[in-house]
Structure 1
């Protein structure tokens, strides 16, 4: 019996099994070391193809032909490949004038995902962003989305979502005002220290008053104890001989 799996070209099989052997000399190079037929399954009439290390380029329609010299059967199946990429990361990319640009990156997607930006109030601000997509050597997609932000909008989230039903990835970033131009770091530290000092003054006054009241309360007790000590050490007069 011969079993031939192929896609576009009959003469370049994805996998060829004949005379109880895997004949891989004419196999499509894109599938080398990635295909297999199970011998125990073949004995049961199961000629399913096992395909390892799936790639985006593997998607498509596959044709299977099986014949034993007297009977001939043919069937087709479609392979759909979808990859959920990495969780997106948000970082500062560059500063231009009075605006700061953020970049949201994620890789390993297929097909191309959708990128959604939201501000701290949950408003969709994707229209203010620009997105670029690149395909790597294995056929997966890397996404980079950029958005310029203002100082008053200091919480952003980036949602990277597959266009087919798959889990979503989301990352959020809280941006400190120290990152924005025009705000000096030492000024922020100075005012923060000043605010803490002013806030501590009432506590110091209260503590001083408590210590003063305690001291006044303990003064009579301390004087009484001192008087007793002096009485105990008073010299005894000598008696006449």
Structure 2
């Protein structure tokens, strides 16, 4: 009878789910970049697997410096006193999610400067693990404008300008036959106070070339902007007779 009861109990125990321990668990972020636009709210994914409560853990989100957290959860509270000031008031962890090992970070009101790799670090006692997630804050800038810059004694230049980009776009110049002549150009990039990028690119022109196009293209999938400049035969040696076409 004793052996029959013992066997029955062992059989029931074998049907119970296995209990995860810290040594069995790891922290996982996202293997794909998260793409969003300025002003949006996003959730940077991260979780412990197999599932394990993180309520009593230290959970730290950071970028380049572990000691300057984007968000720090410690002793069951959020440590805003040590948080990177750029993120203060814009981050949150789900208390219910922590119970299930979900460490995902809610980030509000995105800025272009938020683009980058985020590390999700969890520790309890001697155990620690971390995952990572890349965030791309993408903004398509303005339609590029092309103008002429002609200084006495200097070769005439075409200047292509566009602003409001994130991240840095690619600028491509083509001549009248569609040949890529970007290598002949010079491009500068400037960042404004909000983190948006402005590009200015110029290329020197010769009399025999009368059509140029300037393509400003996002490096992440998104519509491109292109402008073309037609220079009439009356332009040289004067400075009149040009038209900009946008597409």
Shift in Å at residue 171 of structure 1? 1.9
1:149 pairs with 2:205: yes
State whether residues 111 and 195 of structure 2, in contact with CA within 8 Å, keep that contact through their aligned partners in structure 1. Answer: no
Deviations 1:123-171 (A, max 9, x none): 2222332222223344443221112334553322111234555543322
Distance 1:22 1:74 in 2: 19
TM-aligned CA distance change 1:184 to 1:29, over 3 Å: closer
Alignment of 1:178-197 (within 5 A): 180-182=236-238
Alignment match, 1:62? 119
- Correspondent of 1:168 among 213, 218, 224: 224
Alignment of 1:82-97 (within 5 A): 83-97=138-152
Tell me which protein shows more helix as a share of its residues.
Answer: 1
Alignment match, 1:26? 82
Shift in Å at residue 18 of structure 1? 3.9
Shift in Å at residue 77 of structure 1? 0.6
State whether residues 114 and 137 of structure 2, in contact with CA within 8 Å, keep that contact through their aligned partners in structure 1. Answer: no
The TM-score normalised by the length of structure 2 is 0.58
TM-aligned CA distance change 1:35 to 1:96, over 3 Å: same
Deviations 1:199-232 (A, max 9, x none): xxxxxxxxxxxxxxxxxxxxxxxxxxxxxxxxxx
1:77 pairs with 2:132: yes
Alignment match, 2:173? 117
Tell me which protein shows more strand as a share of its residues.
Answer: 2
State whether residues 63 and 77 of structure 1, in contact with CA within 8 Å, keep that contact through their aligned partners in structure 2. Answer: yes
* Number of residue-to-residue matches in the alignment: 183
State whether residues 145 and 162 of structure 2, in contact with CA within 8 Å, keep that contact through their aligned partners in structure 1. Answer: no
Structure with larger RCO (C-alpha < 8 A, sep 6+): 2
- Correspondent of 2:72 among 8, 16, 19: 16
TM-aligned CA distance change 1:184 to 1:54, over 3 Å: closer
Shift in Å at residue 75 of structure 1? 1.7
C-alpha root-mean-square deviation of aligned residues, in Å? Answer: 3.4
The TM-score normalised by the length of structure 1 is 0.59
